[in-house]
C-alpha cells in the first residue's frame, strides 16, 4: 500500500498532461512567435491542419478556439478564407534583450513594472547591509552580464543581480514578492534573444551595474543614491510594443548620469 501511495504522490508532482488540442495550439503559437509571422499571415485551412497534425476535426476546432481566446488568430470563412494571424504574442524589449511570452492573464510589461517598484522600495536599505560576500556575488553576476553570448544567461544574471539587492535590504515581504515576480516571468517566458545592437548598448548597461557595485564596496552613499536614482527614475508610457499588437507599458529610463543609457 505504501508503494502505491508513493507512486501516486510522484505522479501528482508531474506537470498536467496536455490534451491533443492544447498540444496543437502550443505548436501553432510557437510558430507564430518564432517564425515572426505578421498580422494577416495565412496559417492555413482546418483541413490542412487536420492532415498535418493527424487530428480530428474536434481537436483542431478546440485548438483554434484556444488561439482565438488568446486573440492570436482569426478564422475567415468563404473564398480565400482560412486561419490568419490576428496578433503577435506578447513581446517586451528589456535593455539589450528581446523577450517573448506565452499568453497569460497578466501583462508581462505590468509584471516588469511591478518588479521595478518592489526593488525601488527595497534598495534604500542596501548600503548599510551589504557584505563582502554579497559584493562578490554581484561581481560574479556582472561578469556574466558583460561577457555571455547566451541571452537566457544574460537575463538570469541580470535578474539575479537585482534579486541580491532586494534580498540584502532585509525586508522579507519585498524579497518574497520580488522572487515570485521573477518566477512568473521565468515560467511565462517563451523565448529570449539579444537585440541586433547588443554590443552597442551592453557596455552602458555594464557601466551602470559597475557603478552600483563600486559605490556599495566603498560605502559611497552619494554615488550609490545617484546611480540607483538614475536606475529607477522612469516614466511608464503606453504604446505598441515591438512585434506586438498588444498595448503594453514599457519602461523608459530617463535622467541617467552622463554616458549612461537604458539599463536592465
Q: In whole angstroms, what is the distance from residue 1 CA to residue 14 CA?
A: 21
**Cell numbers that stand for 70 in this block:** 488568446
**Residue 16 pLDDT:** 61
What predicted TM-score, i.e. pTM, was given to this entire model? 0.64
- For the chain, what are the domain ranges? 2-85, 91-253
* 248 close to 93: Cβ distance less than 8 angstroms: no
Contacts of 165 (CB under 8 A, 6+ apart): 119, 122, 123, 126
| CATH number belonging to the domain at 91-253, selected among 1.10.1740.10, 1.10.10.10, 3.30.365.10, 1.20.120.530 | 1.20.120.530
Work out the angle at residue 27's Cα, subtended by the Cα atoms of residues 244 and 238, and round it to the nearest 5 degrees. 15
Q: What is the pLDDT of residues 193-215, one digit of tens each?
A: 888 888 888 888 888 899 999 99
For the chain, where are the E strands, in sequence order? 42-44, 73-76, 82-85, 91-94, 97-101, 189-194, 234-240, 247-253
The stretch 142-170 carries a mean pLDDT of 94
Which residue has better confidence, 82 or 71? 82
The stretch 236-242 carries a mean pLDDT of 31
Residue 233 has pLDDT above 70, yes or no: no
Q: In whole angstroms, what is the distance from residue 111 CA to residue 104 CA?
A: 11
| Fold of the 2-85 domain | Arc Repressor Mutant, subunit A (1.10.10)
How many other CB atoms are there within 10 angstroms of residue 257's CB atom? 13
Which residue has better confidence, 2 or 28? 28
How would you class 38 by CB atoms within 10 Å of its CB: exposed for 0-12, middle for 13-18, buried for 19 or more? Answer: exposed
Residue 3 has pLDDT above 80, yes or no: no
Domains 2-85 and 91-253 agree in fold? no
Amino acid at each position: 500500500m505504501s508503494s502505491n501511495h508513493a507512486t501516486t504522490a510522484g505522479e501528482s508532482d508531474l506537470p498536467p498532461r496536455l490534451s491533443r488540442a492544447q498540444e496543437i495550439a502550443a505548436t501553432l503559437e510557437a510558430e507564430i512567435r518564432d517564425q515572426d509571422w505578421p498580422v494577416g499571415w495565412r496559417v492555413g485551412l482546418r483541413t490542412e491542419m487536420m492532415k498535418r497534425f493527424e487530428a480530428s476535426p474536434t481537436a483542431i476546432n478546440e485548438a483554434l478556439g484556444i488561439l482565438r481566446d488568446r486573440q492570436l488568430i482569426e478564422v475567415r470563412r468563404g473564398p480565400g478564407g482560412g486561419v490568419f494571424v490576428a496578433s503577435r504574442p506578447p513581446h517586451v524589449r528589456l535593455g539589450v534583450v528581446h523577450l517573448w511570452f506565452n499568453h497569460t492573464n497578466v501583462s508581462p510589461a505590468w509584471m516588469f513594472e511591478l518588479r521595478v517598484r518592489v526593488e525601488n522600495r527595497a534598495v534604500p536599505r542596501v548600503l548599510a547591509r551589504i557584505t563582502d560576500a554579497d559584493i562578490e556575488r554581484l561581481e560574479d553576476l556582472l561578469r556574466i552580464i558583460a561577457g555571455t553570448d547566451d541571452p537566457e544567461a544574460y537575463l538570469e544574471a541580470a535578474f539575479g543581480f537585482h534579486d541580491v539587492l532586494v534580498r540584502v535590504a532585509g525586508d522579507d515581504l519585498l524579497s518574497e514578492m520580488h522572487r515570485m515576480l521573477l518566477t512568473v516571468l521565468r515560467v511565462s517566458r517563451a523565448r529570449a534573444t539579444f537585440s541586433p545592437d547588443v554590443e552597442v548598448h551592453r557596455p552602458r548597461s555594464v557601466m551602470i551595474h559597475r557603478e552600483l557595485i563600486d559605490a556599495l564596496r566603498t560605502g559611497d552613499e552619494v554615488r550609490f543614491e545617484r546611480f540607483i536614482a538614475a536606475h529607477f527614475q522612469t516614466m511608464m508610457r503606453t504604446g505598441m510594443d515591438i512585434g506586438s499588437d498588444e498595448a503594453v507599458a514599457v519602461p523608459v529610463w530617463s535622467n541617467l548620469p552622463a554616458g549612461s543609457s537604458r539599463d536592465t
